Amino acid sequence: MKQQKKEPLKSQFNFPVWYILIAAFVIMSLSSYLFNPVVGNISYSEFKRLVKDGRVESCQITSSLVKGTLRGDDLRSEKQKTFVTARVDDPELVKELEAQGVKYSGNYENTWLQQFLFAWIIPIGIFFLIWRFVFKKMGGPTGSIMSFGKSKGRIYAQEDLKFSFDDVAGIDEAKEELQEVVEFLKTPHKFTNLGGRIPKGVLLVGAPGTGKTLLAKAVAGEAGVPFFSISGSEFVEMFVGVGASRVRDMFSQAAQKAPCIIFIDELDAIGKTRGSNPVGGHDEREQTLNQLLVEMDGFDANTGVIIMSATNRPETLDPALLRPGRFDRQVVVDRPDLNGREAILVIHSKGVKLDKNVNLKSIAAMTPGFVGADLANIINEAALLAARRNKDTVGMSEIEEAIERVMAGLEKKKRIISKQEKEIVAYHECGHALVASTLKTTDKVKKISIIPRGIAALGYTLQLPTEDRYMMTRVELTERICVLLGGRIAEEIIFSEVSTGAQNDLEKASEIARRMVKYYGMSEKLGVITFEPENKPAFLGWGMGSNREYSEETAREIDMEVKKIIDDVYAKTREILEEQKPMLIKLSMILMEKEVIEGEELKKILNGELEEKTDATRVN
Ligand code: ADP
Ligand code: MG
Ligand code: ZN
C-alpha cells in the first residue's frame, strides 16, 4: 500500500508568544525608567536625617516606598535630586514632615501599568498559551494559528492499492454484491452505453473489525482505480466550515481522477440524524453532512466516481443519507461463520511459519463470534509469543494462548458466548425454525444463525414472506405466535429449564395476541368489538391507560382472553415440538456445528435428505 502523502506543512506566519513577553518586559522597564528618571536610593535613616535637616522639598508616600525631591539649593549632583527609600512603619513621619514644611502627598501611586499588566496582558498571555497548546494537540504538526483551515483540506488519492478480493475472506455475500461495482469501475462505458444507472453510493454496514475498510480498499485494488479515503471523525473539527470545505475539495479532486472511489469511513460520525443533539446540535457536523449531501446530489454517477462508506451504526444515520441517489445500496458485512473464519485464518497465517500440528479448522471452531480483525490479531499475537519463546514455528499452544488473550480483551467490549449458552441458543433458534417449517401459513425460513450480533440477539431465525401481506387471518396470526413461542418451548423440552433469551419473543407474542383481542375483534368471548382505535396519538402521558374507552372489568377480560390465546397456542406448539424432538435435536446439532443453516439446507435436513455425520446420539 502506498503511503498517503501529506503536504509539508510550514507555518504560514509564526507568532511566538515570546515576542509578546519580551515586548511587555521592554515596555515595563522603559516606563519605569521614564517615570522615575533619576533616582538615588537612600536608606530610611538617611531620609529621616534629610527631613530633619530640612533638605527635603516634597515627598510621595506610597504603600511601600517614599519618593521625594530635595531642595533646589541643596543639589549635590543631578543624581541626588530625587530619592527613593523603602517605607518603614513610622507614625511620627507625618509630624516631622509637617514640622519641616515638606510638601507631602499620601498614597499616590502610579500603577496603571502594573494594573494593566496583571489584569490584561498576563491573563491574555495565559489564554493564548492554552489555546495554542490545544491546537497543537488537535492539529498535529501544523502548529500555526492560521493554517488549520487549510491544513487537512487536501486529500490525496492512494493509487495502486495492493489489496484484492483474495485478501478478504468469510464475507462472500458482500464480495459478490461489490463485484458489480468493480465491473463498473473497470469498464464504465460498457454500462453507460446501455443506459444503465450505476449506484452512486454504497454503504457497508457491519460490526467493527468485520473488514469493511479492507473491502473498500479491495474494490479499488480489484478495479485498479484511485482511492480517496477520509474518516468521518476527521471531519469533526472545532471550526465551522472546515469539514464542509474538505468535502468539497475531495469531490472536486475525485472528479478529475475518475474513475475512482471516494471512501468515507465511520460515516456515523458526521451522518448522525440532524438535530438529534439535545444541547443545541453540532453545527460543524451538520454543515459537513449538508455539504456531503449537496455534493452527492450534484454529480453524475456515470462520471465514474463511486462513493463508498462504512458504518457500524446504520440506525443512527440521517435518513437523508439513505435516500435514492445517495447511499441507496447497502451491503451487509456479516461476522464470519465457521468456514469464513477458517478462510480468514488461512489468509493471515500465510506469512507465518505454522507448526504441523496447527489445525486452523479447530481454531475457527474455538472462536465463534470473532471478526476478521480479531482473527488477524490472534495470529499476530501467537507469532509474537512464539518469537518470545525462541521457537522456530508457531505452535497450537501459542495460538490457544493468543485466543485467550484476545478473548479477555473482547470480553470487556462485547459478549463472547460460552459453549453452554451456544447450545441453548441453538435449540432456541431451531425451535423457531422447526415450528415455522411445520405450520402451513408461516413464512419460509431463510436462514438460522447462532452467530451473535449486536448485544441483544444471540442468534436469529430469518423468515422471508413469500408474498406481500395486507391482511392476515386469525389462523395466520396464531401460527405466528406459535413460531415466536417455539424458541422458548424448545428450551423447555430439552433443558427442562428456561433462559432469559426469549424475552423479546414473548413480548412480540403477547403484542400480537393483545391486538387480536383489542383491535381485530378476534376473541369469541368479547366478540367483534374494537376496544381502541389503532393509531391513537401517543403523546407523553397520553393514552397510557388513562383515557381508556372501556371499563376495568373489560380490561380484565381482555387480559384473560389474551392469556387464553397464548395458552392455547402454547399447548399446540409444545405438541408440535414434542412430536419432533428427534428432529429438533438433530437440527440443533448441525446448527451448533455450522452456526448457520440456509433455507435450502434446512429443507433437505427436514426431508431427511441430508444425512449428517454428526453423532445424533448426544442428547443434552
Ligand atoms: P472494519 O473497517 O470493518 O472495522 P477493517 O477492515 O479495518 O475492519 O479490518 C481490520 C483488519 O482485520 C483488516 O486490515 C484485516 O487484516 C482484518 N480483517 C478483517 N476482516 C477480514 C476479512 N473478512 N478477511 C481478511 N482479513 C480481515
Ligand atoms: Mg474500518
Ligand atoms: Zn427467539
Residue nearest to atom 12 of ligand 1 (CA): 373
Whether the Cβ atoms of residue 484 and residue 511 lie closer than 8 Å to each other: no
Whether the Cβ atoms of residue 236 and residue 282 lie closer than 8 Å to each other: yes
The mean pLDDT value for 279-306 works out to: 76
Q: Does ligand 1 have an atom closer than 6 angstroms to the CB of 204?
A: no
pLDDT band at 432 (very low <50, low <70, confident <90, very high): very high
Give me the pLDDT at residue 608, please.
82
User: Phi/psi of residue 440, each to 5°?
Assistant: -85, -40
105 Cα to the center of ligand 3, angstroms = 93
Q: What share of the chain is helix, strand, coil (3-state, %, to 5)?
A: 50, 10, 35
Give me the pLDDT at residue 618, please.
40
214 Cα to the center of ligand 1, angstroms = 5
Residues with CB under 5 A from ligand 3 (ion): 487, 505
Domain ranges of the chain: 37-107, 154-333, 338-408, 419-606
> Could you give the percent of the chain with pLDDT greater than 90?
18
**What 3-state class would DSSP assign to 394?**
strand
pLDDT band at 430 (very low <50, low <70, confident <90, very high): very high
The mean pLDDT value for 356-381 works out to: 88
Q: Does ligand 1 have an atom closer than 6 angstroms to the CB of 345?
A: no
Residue 346 half-sphere exposure toward CB, CA atoms < 13 A: 12
Chain-wide mean pLDDT for the chain? Answer: 78
Pick from 115, 130, 117, 110: nearest CA to 24: 117
**Ligand with minimal distance to 498 CA:** 3
- pLDDT at 140 exceeding the cut of 80: no
Give me the pLDDT at residue 156, please.
65
Residue nearest to atom 25 of ligand 1 (CA): 168
Comparing 41-55, 80-94, 134-148, 287-301, the range with the smallest average pLDDT is 134-148
Q: Does ligand 1 have an atom closer than 6 angstroms to the CB of 201?
A: no
**Amino acid in position 489:** I
Q: Does domain 338-408 have CATH number 1.20.140.90?
A: no
207 Cα to the center of ligand 2, angstroms = 9
Question: Helix and strand tally (H, E) in the chain?
Answer: 22, 13
pLDDT band at 342 (very low <50, low <70, confident <90, very high): very high
Q: What are the pLDDT digits (tens) for 207-218?
A: 889 999 999 999
Comparing 130-144, 191-205, 261-275, 335-349, the range with the smallest average pLDDT is 130-144
Q: What are the pLDDT digits (tens) for 582-612?
A: 999 999 999 988 888 888 899 999 888 765 4
Q: What are the pLDDT digits (tens) for 149-182?
A: 443 445 666 777 788 999 999 888 889 989 988 9
Residue nearest to atom 1 of ligand 1 (CA): 209
**Ligand with minimal distance to 432 CA:** 3
Pick from 145, 163, 252: nearest CA to 212: 163
Q: What are the pLDDT digits (tens) for 314-336?
A: 777 888 888 887 887 888 888 88
Pick from 287, 298, 90, 257: nearest CA to 157: 257
Q: Does ligand 1 have an atom closer than 6 angstroms to the CB of 321?
A: no
Q: Does ligand 1 have an atom closer than 6 angstroms to the CB of 311?
A: no
**Ligand with minimal distance to 436 CA:** 3
Q: Which residue has the cell 450534484?
A: 298
Q: Which residue has the cell 522597564?
A: 29
User: 577: which 3 cell numbers?
Assistant: 415440538
- pLDDT at 9 exceeding the cut of 70: no
595 vs 618: CA distance, rounded Å: 18
179 Cα to the center of ligand 2, angstroms = 20
374 Cα to the center of ligand 1, angstroms = 9
- pLDDT at 237 exceeding the cut of 80: no
- pLDDT at 435 exceeding the cut of 90: yes
- pLDDT at 454 exceeding the cut of 60: no
pLDDT band at 452 (very low <50, low <70, confident <90, very high): low
Residue nearest to atom 15 of ligand 1 (CA): 373
Give me the pLDDT at residue 462, please.
67
Give me the pLDDT at residue 347, please.
93
449 Cα to the center of ligand 3, angstroms = 11
Give me the pLDDT at residue 6, please.
40
- pLDDT at 578 exceeding the cut of 90: yes
Residues assigned a catalytic role: 429
586 vs 61: CA distance, rounded Å: 104
330 vs 289: CA distance, rounded Å: 19
Residue nearest to atom 6 of ligand 1 (CA): 211
For the ranges 5-9, 61-65, 611-615, the one whose mean pLDDT is highest: 61-65
Comparing 295-309, 356-370, 403-417, the range with the smallest average pLDDT is 403-417
Give me the pLDDT at residue 318, please.
82
Residue 214 Cα: closest atom of ligand 1: 6
- pLDDT at 415 exceeding the cut of 80: no
The mean pLDDT value for 51-80 works out to: 74
What CATH topology corresponds to 154-333? Rossmann fold (3.40.50)
211 Cα to the center of ligand 2, angstroms = 7
499 vs 91: CA distance, rounded Å: 91
> Could you give the percent of the chain with pLDDT greater than 70?
76
Residue nearest to atom 17 of ligand 1 (CA): 373
Confirm whether 154-333 and 419-606 share one CATH topology: no
- pLDDT at 298 exceeding the cut of 50: yes
Q: Does ligand 1 have an atom closer than 6 angstroms to the CB of 213?
A: yes
Give me the pLDDT at residue 544, please.
45
Q: Does ligand 1 have an atom closer than 6 angstroms to the CB of 200?
A: no
**Ligand with minimal distance to 214 CA:** 1
128 vs 218: CA distance, rounded Å: 46
**Amino acid in position 174:** A
Question: Can you list the alpha helix ranges (DSSP code H) found in 283-418?
Answer: 283-298, 338-348, 360-366, 372-388, 396-413
For the ranges 150-159, 277-286, 487-496, the one whose mean pLDDT is highest: 487-496
Q: Which residue has the higher pLDDT, 172 or 73?
A: 172
The mean pLDDT value for 96-118 works out to: 76
469 vs 481: CA distance, rounded Å: 17
Q: Does ligand 1 have an atom closer than 6 angstroms to the CB of 174?
A: no
For the ranges 19-33, 110-124, 262-276, 426-440, the one whose mean pLDDT is highest: 426-440
User: 23: which 3 cell numbers?
Assistant: 515586548
249 Cα to the center of ligand 1, angstroms = 28
Whether the Cβ atoms of residue 371 and residue 209 lie closer than 8 Å to each other: yes
563 vs 25: CA distance, rounded Å: 86
362 Cα to the center of ligand 2, angstroms = 27
Comparing 260-274, 349-363, 387-401, the range with the smallest average pLDDT is 260-274
Left, alpha or beta for 108 (phi > 0: left; psi -120 to 50: alpha)? beta
Q: Which residue has the cell 504603600?
A: 63
Q: Does ligand 1 have an atom closer than 6 angstroms to the CB of 212?
A: yes
CA distances for 581 relative to 112, 430, 431, 576, angstroms: 94, 11, 10, 9
User: 545: which 3 cell numbers?
Assistant: 391507560
Residue nearest to atom 9 of ligand 1 (CA): 211
Give me the pLDDT at residue 585, please.
94
Q: Does ligand 1 have an atom closer than 6 angstroms to the CB of 205?
A: no
Q: Does ligand 1 have an atom closer than 6 angstroms to the CB of 379?
A: no
Pairing of strands 82-86, 40-41: parallel
The helix-helix angle for 474-495 and 503-518 (nearest 10°) equals: 150
- pLDDT at 566 exceeding the cut of 90: yes
**Ligand with minimal distance to 490 CA:** 3
Residue nearest to atom 11 of ligand 1 (CA): 373
What CATH topology corresponds to 37-107? 3.30.720
Q: Does ligand 1 have an atom closer than 6 angstroms to the CB of 341?
A: no
Give me the pLDDT at residue 613, please.
47
Query: Which of 165, 175, 214 has the most ligand 1 atoms within 8 A of CB, as the residue to mutate?
Result: 214
Residues 6 or more apart whose CB falls under 8 angstroms from that of 55 comprise 70, 71, 74
9 vs 150: CA distance, rounded Å: 10
Of the chain, the end-to-end C-alpha distance in Å amounts to 50
Q: Which residue has the higher pLDDT, 618 or 129?
A: 129
Q: Does domain 419-606 have CATH number 3.30.200.20?
A: no
Give me the pLDDT at residue 239, please.
61
Q: Does ligand 1 have an atom closer than 6 angstroms to the CB of 207?
A: no
